Structure 1
Amino acid sequence: MNITIWPHVITMPIYFIVLIFIVAFFRKHYKLAAYFWIASLFTFPLWILGGVEGWFRWAKILSVILPTIIVGFSRIAVYENKKGKIWDFLKSEQFLWFFYAILFLNIMEATIKDATMGNYFNAATGFLLCVTIPFAPKFWKITTEKHGDLIAYTTASWNFLYTTWNACFVYAESPVYFASSLTILLAAELYPLMKGRPELYITARVYTLAAHLLLRASFDIFPMTMDSSSWYNPEVLKTWGMINFILIVPYVFWHMWQLQTGKAEKSFRRQRAA
């Protein structure tokens, strides 16, 4: 099998740096983040010209961009302590369940697709990731400090398991896009570690995924710049899924033990506030 990797040595690091900048920019400019993603919806003519076809692709793009818009306005509501019926709803603790549900559905969607492709061990991993998402509102919040970050107290281990699970899913579902998808996953994985704050993982994942899907819909340059279809190997896929499942099983027991013993308050939050 002829595996081509040399172009990716250039394109993947460049894309990674751009994504890190995007996350940092939208974290800092919380108002612009909300308005930018509203404006992004008006690029839909480019989506049509770019070949976005079928309800599934449209639903996938909108199911990411619309919640990203809501994240932006929730950040404004909390950080600026906005008053009014809608603002109060957006900054209520109970509304944090919305973000939990979006994450749950995002994982479950890929999990079901994994199962239909016969990638059963990775599908089981996705299901267990859903089981171990820290509950809202206890382990979710939007801060009033700095830029009104969306905080989810996922652990560093959960973040890693999500990254390797999702990478395995993309490897099976869209090999041509695996390199670019791996880059956005690594950006979301490493940005919180660079900041020493694993609780920023969901924020980084929100903005990297939304930027990636918008770029793919408007100007799909990835088949030309990061085509990784030659990397696909069914044996690698099978082994990868099994490894993911083996890794997550002890994590599930640890997660449940933390909740059962009441240690989660400290272990999930790493004994400090955001």
Structure 2
Amino acid sequence: MPLWQYMVSMVVYIGLLMLIVGYMREHVKFANVFWIGSLVTFPMWIMGGVVGWFRWSKILSVIFPTIFVGFSRLANADSLAGKFKGKFWDSLRKEWVLWILYGVLFLNIAEATIKDFTLGNIFNAACGFLLCVTIPFPLKRNFWKLAGKNGELLVYTTIAWNFLYTTWNACFVYGESPVYFASSVCILLAAELYPVLKGRPELYVIARVYTLATHLIIRACFPNLFPALMDSSSWYNAGVLKYWGIINFVLIVPYVFWHMYQLHTGKANISFRRGKVDNTAIEAA
């Protein structure tokens, strides 16, 4: 496959994903309806688009939580205040929602970590475990929020955590499914670049939610699309995989100590927010 094909297809896909994230952010009602509607593609999943326990676990643990995010955003959007009433919608404004979303992020990392272990990529799996350990808690909504005009999911992960997540996940895909590595790099870069271009690092998780969900739906419905456009199986090298995993583990160990130190000294509310103090944390009702 010629180099120009990789370059063009990857750049176009990254751009498309970023446009999708932006549109989903701005149009919360559309996003909710769209992801509910994505379930009609289920027959295509069972026709060969989704194969193996990991792929089924991954798509189910991404699409349903994405739908849940949509309902939660509707309930918390300032622009829709007063339009969604009743016990159901009131419950979606409570802190338990953020704990569920925290759990979903934890689960998605844990799934890949388990798969990494089964593939023998031990050091990268250890990195995944430590990523789970260092996800900021949504306690008192200090680091997780659903807020703003469109009820955006804001998660104050650190820049270092975002980077470590990206390199860990890229290494995982490189070993688990080399043929899809290039397309997976696209969704990882789109999630990294979008908040950077917007100047709002706290948008990383919501960008990751929509890029990953989009990618999984496309892959489930059109399993031959990415291999045809950007087959990266020839990029695989066992030595690269091994040392990449080791590097990821070496990088995350000092981060874990820094993370724990910030929590222990009470500095996390500032350092995790990149120097911005939040005085609006709300006790769960």
| TM-score, shorter chain, exceeding 0.5 | yes
Amino acid at match of 2:169: N
Displacement after TM superposition at 1:54 (Å): 4.6
Residue number in structure 2 paired with 1:74: 72
Deviations 1:176-217 (A, max 9, x none): 000000110010011111111111110000000000000011
Residues 78-97 of structure 1 aligned to structure 2 (within 5 Å): 78-79=76-77, 80-81=80-81, 82-97=84-99
Indicate whether 1:116 and 2:114 are aligned: no
Residue number in structure 2 paired with 1:237: 241
Cα distance in structure 1, aligned partners of 2:51 and 2:40: 17
Indicate whether 1:157 and 2:160 are aligned: yes
SS of corresponding position for 1:151: strand
SS of corresponding position for 1:92: coil
Residue pair 1:50, 1:219 contacting (<8 A) in 2 also: no
Residue number in structure 2 paired with 1:140: 144
* Root mean square deviation, CA, Å: 1.6
Amino acid at match of 1:43: T
Q: TM-score, normalization: structure 2?
A: 0.91
Residue number in structure 2 paired with 1:27: 25
SS of corresponding position for 1:215: helix
Gaps of 5+ in 1: none
Cα distance in structure 1, aligned partners of 2:48 and 2:5: 23
SS of corresponding position for 2:145: strand
Amino acid at match of 2:125: A
Residue number in structure 1 paired with 2:230: 226
Residues 256-267 of structure 1 aligned to structure 2 (within 5 Å): 256-267=260-271
Cα distance in structure 2, aligned partners of 1:51 and 1:127: 28
Residue number in structure 2 paired with 1:188: 191
- Number of residue pairs matched by the alignment: 271
Amino acid at match of 2:192: E
Displacement after TM superposition at 1:36 (Å): 0.5
Residue number in structure 2 paired with 1:52: 50
Deviations 1:213-254 (A, max 9, x none): 000111220011010000000110111011111111111111
Amino acid at match of 2:185: L
Identify if the C-alpha distance between structure 1 residues 255 and 55 changes in structure 2 by more than 3 Å, giving closer, same or farther.
closer
Cα distance in structure 2, aligned partners of 1:114 and 1:57: 13
Q: TM-score, normalization: structure 1?
A: 0.95
SS of corresponding position for 2:273: coil
Cα distance in structure 1, aligned partners of 2:26 and 2:227: 32
Indicate whether 1:208 and 2:211 are aligned: yes
Cα distance in structure 2, aligned partners of 1:177 and 1:31: 31
SS of corresponding position for 1:150: strand
Residue number in structure 2 paired with 1:103: 105
SS of corresponding position for 1:271: coil
Cα distance in structure 2, aligned partners of 1:90 and 1:40: 22
Q: Structure 1 vs Structure 2: percent identity of aligned residues?
A: 66
